[in-house]
Amino acid sequence: MKDFLNSWGISLMVFLPLVGALAMLVVPKAKEQFHKVVALAASLVVGFIGILLMTNFDYDASGRLQFVIDKAWIPIINSRYIVGIDGISLPMIALTLLIVPLCIIYSWNHFPEPKNPKAFLILILILETGMLGTFVSQDLILFFVFFEVVLLPMYFMIGVWGGEKRQYASLKFFLYTLFGSALMIVAFLALYFLSDPIEVGGQLMHSFDMRILPELATGISTGAALFIFGGMFMGFGIKVPMFPFHTWLPDAHTQAPTVGSVILAAVLLKLGTYGFIRIAIPILPGAAEKWAPFIGLLAVIGIIYGALCCLAQTDMKRLIAFSSVSHMGFVMLGIATLTTFGFQAAIFGMVAHGLITGMLFFVAGSTKDRYHTLDISRLGGMLKSMPHMGWILGFAVMASLGLPGLAGFWGEFPAILSAYNPGLGLNVAFFRVLMVIAAVGTVLAASYLLWMYQRVGFGVPTKEYEDDPHLHDVTFTEWLAWTPILVLIVVLGFMPNIIFKVTDGAVERTIAIVNGLGG
Amino acid sequence: MFNMIDKVWIIPALMASSFLVILFFGKRWGTRATAGIGIAAVSICLLLSVIVAGNWISRVNHPPTGAALAADVLQANGLTPQTGENIAGEVNAVTHDSGETVATDSHASMSEATTSEASASEHGAEHESVPPVVRTVTWFQIGGMEFEMGTLVDGLAAMMLITVCIISLLVHIYSTEYLHGDVRFTHYYAFLSLFTASMLFYVLSSNTLQMLVGWELVGVCSFGLIGHWWEEKKNTDAALKAFLTNRVGDIGLILGVIITFFAAGGTSFNVLHINEYALSHSANTTLLLVGALCLFGGVTSKSGQFPLHTWLPDAMAGPTPVSALIHAATMVVAGVYLIARLYGVFFSGLAIGSSTFHYVAFIGGFTTIIGGLLAFVQTDLKKVLAYSTISQLGYMVMALGVGAWTAGVFHLFTHAFFKACLFLGAGSVSHACHHTFDMREMGGLRKKMPITHATFLIATLALAGIFPLAGFWSKDEILAGASSGQQNAYTIMLIFGLITALLTAAYMGRAYWLTFWGDYRGHAKPHESPKVITVPLMILAGCAVLFGFTNFPGNFFGIHLPGGVTTRFEHFVEPTFAFPPLQHAEFTPWLAVVSTILAASGLFLAYQYYEKNRGPHGLTSRNKVALAGYTFLENKYYLDDLYTGVVAGSTKGPLARAANWFNQNILDGIINGIGLGARKIAAVVYVFADQLIIDGAVNGSGQGSEGAGQLLRKIQTGKVQQYASILFAGAVVLAGVLVFVV
Amino acid sequence: MFLNQFLLLAAILFCIGVYGVLARKNGVLVLMSIELILNAVNINLVAFGAYWNATDNTNVSGQVFALFVIAVAAAEVGVGLALVLLIYRNRQSIDIDDVDMLKG
């Protein structure tokens, strides 16, 4: 079993969704039930493989890459098929494996217009492959390929199943991210050519291997490193998204179908932050140190700015989208401190934000299904017309505002804490100022979320919806899709060690690389 | 008695499970079962708490020695005690050392800080160092460091456990009648359970991070219960106000937790560890000052200190039993508890031992007065009590600020009971009077509700500080503490305290007479409440009478009771481990007399003014200054306008809109501009570069060759001889070149 | 042996030929003038051939060239006369001024 997992586990997990998609491709789209079952089965089997991998994962050595597969891929440029899992990627993979089946379950009975479950589910499966692939890749080119694979299905999902302004939103999303990717690949190539070559089969060649690049990249001059980091910063920063590159996000979220929003918020945004932790910072710690104050500043601006924008929104989904900008600001602040606390906070924050904001988007989607609007001023009294949904929304709101005892807190608090004592030679006073501003952001987070909840959940239903028969409470499929998330939010809130322990080894190793080479 | 002190986590866990059961099954099982579950759970908790307190008392009476003490010290410092025979000896040696260091350390600082050598040694002898019982498990791990969560039991925690459990139990019972038939009976009880669980979790916390968790959880319960009747916007506004105001304070708390964490070495959130650091000689007092002030930010909001007290009166929108439990007796004292718990930080940071004036004491003293003044202009009985709570919380904070730790905590303890009694009494009154709290619609209820009246009177007298009720003893201790201070007297605080003694008696007198005397002015038919309501009132009134004696002074007007009876509260509750060496103020007869006279005259004045209608009535309509003052008070010092109108309004309104405008027009404008610009550029490129230059070049080459052809066709005449002539001419030229040039 | 007389003769013949080609209207006469030009060249070739043969009697390339030219000229005249004949048949004229079908 262990041998099989070692040699095949990850590849199987990454590409099984594609197999499912292929199987669905050859069956006519009229057979909807077949497609639903196959898609769910594929995602569940993938999840099962993931669970197998996780149970066989050596948690005491979470800093080490495990289940590594290293095969030749494009020999001419020495790009290899290297995949592996360590403590940093494991939570992300787990999150992806959880969210995708839940999304499929959620859409079971209400596919957005224009229906066509076949195409919709195939896109979700392709997305899953892309996301998982990104999290396991240990080769820059492979990483890039998976990173881009994610882009297209999401483009189609927004562009086909989206709201009224879907054309605009999907194009904006696509071009924006592509722009970042272009700079990123340039940065990758620069890294490739400027790093020290290694001997491969008696021949000196450059390498895309993320495992050894931190060592190989030490010879890069400071100036070049700054530019390379800048390229990656654009690529990852747009995906996160960091202020001021966030403007694609509200539009994409507002227009995307519910499931698209959930996947976008839960996993896609994390590709950016993951890239920082996995690639940009360990490979170029010197440049990271120079960029960190700037990143920290943008992160904190994002926290306050996103919160202020939230306060001005009239559309519930758009509000949640802006809250993502604010929350991802905490994640980036943690990363910018270059400390174990900060990185741990960032990873926890990524998972927590994935669950909580995913949950909020689920509820927003279901709200839209029932009310056919998300205009906050027209909603109201959800607790009265749909008590369960109202309480779930309230719970998600509380989790989102970083209530201690729920998952959101563990992304926020350690991030603020880490800014007190930033790593390397970062300016302590500057980061402490950032810390205070970030702490103010928690108040704003509470205010926009509670104001929203006051207008949506509390009160009595407006005249328009007083006796609307469409307002039925949470359905069976919704319970099925939501319960795991709700439970996880509580469990992670009370037992944060579930994640902290897994990531600790890997984060410590990363920070050691940063300190050892950049200090 | 079996040892509960190790397994004290069961108490909050029990309440938490009660919450879960009610949440998931409450609706199905009905209201009786719901209330039953809640009451049963709290009763068991109360029982267990009493056992814990008993355990603690026996621990103080028979302090652990040797290896047991050493292990406890280790554990208290957040280190895991190792068990096992083979290493026991080793641990013993190590721990003994550290235990001794602690003891000598505190001894040394004690003799330094105290002026009188004799009293220092006396204290040292009286208080053997009894370490709290700390039991921890790993909570999370970051950077290889393990952070623990656990329970810390000492006298303070045990006292809080009992207080919370008693009042929670009574409120649970009381609510079965008060909320009978309420639409959200189940939710109400679920929240009560969750609140009790969170509050118990909070008081048992062994580290600051855990305290933060409990702190926020009680805040959420408060939010949910204030907004219990959320159909009305007024109530949800109040709930939001409470939560958001507390969040503002929480910035301070979060930063304070962070600063103290890093100040104490950045390895542990353990409160004892932090306290010990703060009291050590190497402590960075500047950092501690900042940390203490930040923490005090949290206290300011949670415990309703000026200027963040404004949420507390609004919080009265919740059901009255909730106001009694949360917004009078327990949650709002969380801030006071925080100061008491992290007293080392406040003591060193603010130099409580040596100063005569500092921020915390001043804010406490100031709050007592502004709260007391505001209580005069309220017509809503609950609001009077709310402002009174603010005022009394100020008293406690002031006490802690002047170094009278025991007095402050003692006041917390006594206040909880008589204030809960007052709130529940007010609830009983409103229950009888068609759910109104407007005192203008009451009056003359003395006859109609004798039990409520009697208990309310007792609690009023206790609050006013009339001998021999509970309030008298605790208030007197605070005044004595302020007058003697540590090294210097806190004179300003003493004056604040005395003024408040007068104010408290007067406004409580006003409320009492308006409610229970005179003629009934309402439209309902008031009647005495059922037993479920009156019995808790009687119990609380009993507490208000008796609990003051728990800290009977050693020398009361020359009465010397045996040592085993006097100052028991101080003996058992005041920590002796990781705690600053405090001077204990002796009972001061002249202060007791003065404050009692002030209280009595306050009551008398209120009686004369409101009952007998004597004194300068209508002053506000005749005197501009009085009117201005009244308006100023009626508008609550305009703080609400400042917060709601200016701060929240500007954030929600212009600021948020500006940010959104910036996002939509500037940032998005830039992006859209880039898009549009790209299209414009593309158009330009198409027209000029593509169409004109590139295509032009292609077309131009065609046209050029055509033109050249047109020119050349002139030569092509078709006449052979002409061609031949050109040929020959060419040949001649070539020949010429060949001959002459080459 | 003097070369000049031959060269002079050839030059005269060449000039007459050129004149004939450029000035005469009659197609046949033009053809004949071309023959004159060619024969002027032949004279030159033979003359130079003989001149070089005096020192190196194995070199007869001049004469050989002359023979080639005669043969080619015969063929050329043949084709030329045939063209003239066809032109005459189509246009009833052999005035080459009339033949300007290739005019651009």
Residue B714: list chain C partners with CB under 8 A: 104
Does residue B454 share a domain with residue B579?
yes
Pairing of strands A198-200, A79-85: unpaired
Number of B to C CB contacts under 8 A, please give it.
Answer: 35
Expressed as residue numbers, the domain containing A196 is 2-518
For the residues B241-268, what does the mean pLDDT come to?
A: 88
Of B299, B322, B350, the domain-final residue:
B350
| Residue ranges per structural domain of chain C | 4-91
Interface residues on B facing C, Cβ-Cβ cutoff 8 A:
709, 712-721, 724-725, 728
Does residue B641 share a domain with residue B720?
no
Does residue B617 share a domain with residue B491?
yes
Contact A312 B656 (CB under 8 A): yes
Does residue B737 share a domain with residue B657?
no
3-state DSSP assignment of residue B258: helix
Closest residue to B717, CB basis, from C21, C22, C103: C103
Q: Is residue B185 part of a domain?
A: no
Q: B729 to chain C, minimum CA–CA distance in Å?
A: 11
3-state DSSP assignment of residue A72: strand
The rounded distance, in Å, linking the Cα atoms of B148 and B151 is: 10
Q: A312 to chain B, minimum CA–CA distance in Å?
A: 5
Residue of A300, A417, A428 to mutate when probing chain B, most B C-beta within 10 A: A417
Q: Give tens-digit pLDDT for C49-66.
A: 888 887 877 888 888 999
ipTM here: 0.89
* CATH number assigned to the domain covering C4-91: 1.10.287.3510
Chain A contact present for B101, CB below 8 A: no
Residue B721: list chain C partners with CB under 8 A: 21-23, 30, 96-97
Q: Give tens-digit pLDDT for B154-193.
A: 888 888 889 999 999 999 888 888 888 887 888 888 888 8
Contact B651 A247 (CB under 8 A): no
CB atoms < 10 A from the CB of B523, how many?
A: 9
* Torsion angle in degrees (nearest 10) through CA of A334, A339, A340, A345: -10
Closest residue to C104, CB basis, from B716, B721, B724: B716
* Overall domain count for chain A: 1
pLDDT value of position B469? 84
3-state DSSP assignment of residue B388: helix
3-state DSSP assignment of residue B207: strand
A440-449, B91-100, B448-457: least confident range: B91-100
Does residue B400 share a domain with residue B295?
no
Chain A contact present for B220, CB below 8 A: yes
How far apart are the two ends of chain A, measured CA to CA in Å? 42
Closest Cα to residue A7, out of A53, A44, A39, A61? A53
* Overall domain count for chain B: 4
pLDDT value of position B1? 56
> Could you give phi then psi for residue B184, rounded to 5 degrees?
-120, 45
pLDDT value of position B122? 38
pTM of the model: 0.82
Residue of B716, B721, B725 to mutate when probing chain C, most C C-beta within 10 A: B721
B588-618 burial, b at 16+ Cβ within 10 Å, e below that, comes to beebbeebbebbbebbebbbebbeeeeeeee
Please report the beta strands in A146-288, taking only residues with DSSP state E, as ranges in sequence order. 198-200, 203-205
pLDDT value of position B96? 38
Q: A194 to chain B, minimum CA–CA distance in Å?
A: 32
Does B have 3 or more CB contacts under 8 Å with C?
A: yes
Does A have 3 or more CB contacts under 8 Å with C?
A: no
Q: Which residue has the higher pLDDT, B60 or B630?
A: B60
Does residue B447 share a domain with residue B524?
yes
The rounded distance, in Å, linking the Cα atoms of B22 and B449 is: 34
Contact C96 B728 (CB under 8 A): no
pLDDT value of position C1? 63
Does residue B640 share a domain with residue B621?
no
Contact B240 A451 (CB under 8 A): yes
Cα B76 to its chain centre, rounded Å, is 25
Contact B671 A247 (CB under 8 A): yes
How far apart are the two ends of chain C, measured CA to CA in Å? 51
Residue B709: list chain C partners with CB under 8 A: 104
Expressed as residue numbers, the domain containing B737 is 714-742
User: A163, exposed or middle or buried, with CB in 10 Å at 0-12, 13-18, 19+?
Assistant: middle
Contact B728 C100 (CB under 8 A): no
Q: B182 to chain A, minimum CA–CA distance in Å?
A: 14
For the residues C43-47, what does the mean pLDDT come to?
A: 91
% residues pLDDT > 90 (chain B): 4
Residue C99: list chain B partners with CB under 8 A: 718, 720
CB B147 within 8 A of CB B269: yes
Interface residues on C facing B, Cβ-Cβ cutoff 8 A:
18, 21-23, 30, 96-97, 99-104
Closest-CA residue of chain B to A342: B142
Does residue B573 share a domain with residue B470?
yes
Assess whether pLDDT exceeds 60 at residue C87: yes
Residue A398: list chain B partners with CB under 8 A: 220
Q: C72 to chain B, minimum CA–CA distance in Å?
A: 20
Contact A313 B660 (CB under 8 A): yes
Of B302, B327, B350, the domain-final residue:
B350
Does residue B648 share a domain with residue B623?
no
Which residues neighbour B296 within 8 Å (Cβ) at sequence distance 6 or greater?
B252, B256, B339, B346, B359, B360, B363
pLDDT bracket for residue B620 (50, 70, 90)? low
Chain A contact present for B148, CB below 8 A: no
The rounded distance, in Å, linking the Cα atoms of B226 and B607 is: 33
Residue of A382, A455, A500, A511 to mutate when probing chain B, most B C-beta within 10 A: A500
A158-172, A333-347, B663-677, B705-719: least confident range: B663-677
Assess whether pLDDT exceeds 80 at residue B639: no
Q: Give tens-digit pLDDT for B274-328.
A: 888 888 888 888 888 888 889 998 899 888 888 888 888 888 888 888 888 888 8
* Regions of chain A short of the pLDDT cut 70: 517-519
Q: Whole-number mean pLDDT of chain B?
A: 81
Closest residue to C97, CB basis, from B712, B714, B719: B719
Q: B323 to chain A, minimum CA–CA distance in Å?
A: 21
Contact B717 C101 (CB under 8 A): no
For the residues B102-106, what does the mean pLDDT come to?
A: 39
Task: Please report all neighbours of A, defined by 3+ CB atom pairs within 8 A.
Answer: B
Q: Which of A120-124, A240-244, B264-268, B527-531 has the highest mean pLDDT?
A: A120-124
Q: Which residue has the higher pLDDT, A428 or B653?
A: A428
pLDDT value of position B619? 64
pLDDT value of position B617? 66
Assess whether pLDDT exceeds 80 at residue B510: yes
pLDDT value of position B627? 74
The rounded distance, in Å, linking the Cα atoms of A174 and A184 is: 15
Does residue B718 share a domain with residue B668?
no
Pairing of strands B145-153, B133-142: antiparallel
For the residues B439-450, what does the mean pLDDT come to?
A: 79
Does residue B651 share a domain with residue B590?
no
Contact A308 B261 (CB under 8 A): no
pLDDT value of position B77? 63
